[in-house]
């Protein structure tokens, strides 16, 4: 009987490896609260180090321009030095710039737009492991797993897509959820598509076989 033991064990192992996610499935719908203004349905981009901002001061082109947000989260522009930008929305930064420029310009009107970047670390989405292009990405409103996979170019031939997982902080505690990337990408099964949230980490393991 012993000669049958190894094949049975291997069969059991293969079945376990093919069973898919080892974590509970990720919720299909999720709401990214950090981007939602209290009491409204509006969503805002939060500035972070590495972003660049376009500052336009009406009637004062010599003060306007494009400025990078430094690693310390601050920005220096014409007539305004070391302004805290990280963690603020572009509108909040515009109001702060107006306060500073009011010392030099009568009733300044400032508009701030995002020139580029991926936001603060806690609101980026990171893709690790067997993605075609592992990277950190800026969260976009209503971003789903499909959108994320398009951005990173899908998965490699060595990926065990159905055992991928999302690491997410829920109510201050880390949680891990399973996702089925093989079903999503190879079978076009949109029923396994899920919402992504700011701060999510998608982990794509390598296949054992």
- Counting every residue written for the chain, the total comes to 209
Helices (H), 5-140: 5-17, 90-101
User: CB–CB of 180/21 below 8 Å?
Assistant: yes
Report, as an integer, the average pLDDT of 69-92.
91
Report, as an integer, the average pLDDT of 177-198.
94
Termini Cα distance of the chain:
27
pLDDT of residue 48: 86
The two tokens of residue 177 are 């959820």
**pLDDT above 80 (res 71):** yes
* Torsion angle in degrees (nearest 10) through CA of 60, 62, 68, 74: -70
| Calpha distance 137→182 (Å, rounded) | 21
Report, as an integer, the average pLDDT of 158-170.
94
Residue 57: C-alpha distances to residues 67, 70, 78, 161, 196 (Å):
13, 21, 11, 49, 36
Domains in the chain: ranges and CATH: 52-116 (3.30.1950.10), 120-209 (3.10.560.10)
| Calpha distance 127→122 (Å, rounded) | 14
pLDDT of residue 42: 55
User: CB–CB of 137/149 below 8 Å?
Assistant: no
Q: What angle do CA 155, 190, 156 make, to 5 degrees?
A: 5
pLDDT confidence band for 21 (50 / 70 / 90)? low
User: CB–CB of 145/184 below 8 Å?
Assistant: yes
Report, as an integer, the average pLDDT of 4-25.
51
pLDDT tens digits for range 23-59 = 888 888 876 654 444 344 456 778 888 889 999 999 9
| Calpha distance 117→70 (Å, rounded) | 12
pLDDT of residue 16: 43
| Calpha distance 191→106 (Å, rounded) | 57
């Amino acid at each position: 009987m012993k000669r049958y033991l190894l094949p049975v064990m291997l069969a059991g192992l293969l079945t376990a490896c093919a069973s898919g996610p080892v974590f509970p499935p990720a919720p299909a719908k999720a709401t990214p609260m950090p981007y939602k203004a209290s009491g409204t349905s509006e969503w805002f981009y939060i500035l972070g180090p590495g972003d660049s901002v376009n500052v336009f001061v009406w009637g004062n082109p010599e003060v306007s321009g494009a400025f990078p947000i430094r690693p310390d989260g601050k920005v220096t522009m014409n007539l305004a030095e070391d302004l805290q930008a990280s963690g603020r929305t572009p509108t909040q930064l515009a109001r702060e710039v107006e306060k500073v420029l009011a010392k030099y310009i009568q009733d300044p009107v400032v508009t701030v737009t995002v020139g580029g970047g991926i936001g603060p670390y806690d609101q980026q989405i990171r893709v690790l492991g067997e993605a075609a292009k592992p990277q950190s990405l800026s969260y976009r409103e209503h971003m789903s797993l499909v959108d994320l996979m398009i951005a990173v170019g899908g998965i490699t031939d060595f990926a065990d897509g159905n055992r991928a997982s999302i690491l997410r902080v829920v109510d201050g505690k880390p949680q891990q959820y399973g996702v089925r990337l093989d079903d999503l990408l190879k079978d076009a099964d949109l029923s396994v598509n899920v919402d992504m949230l700011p701060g999510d980490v998608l982990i794509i393991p390598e296949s054992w076989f």
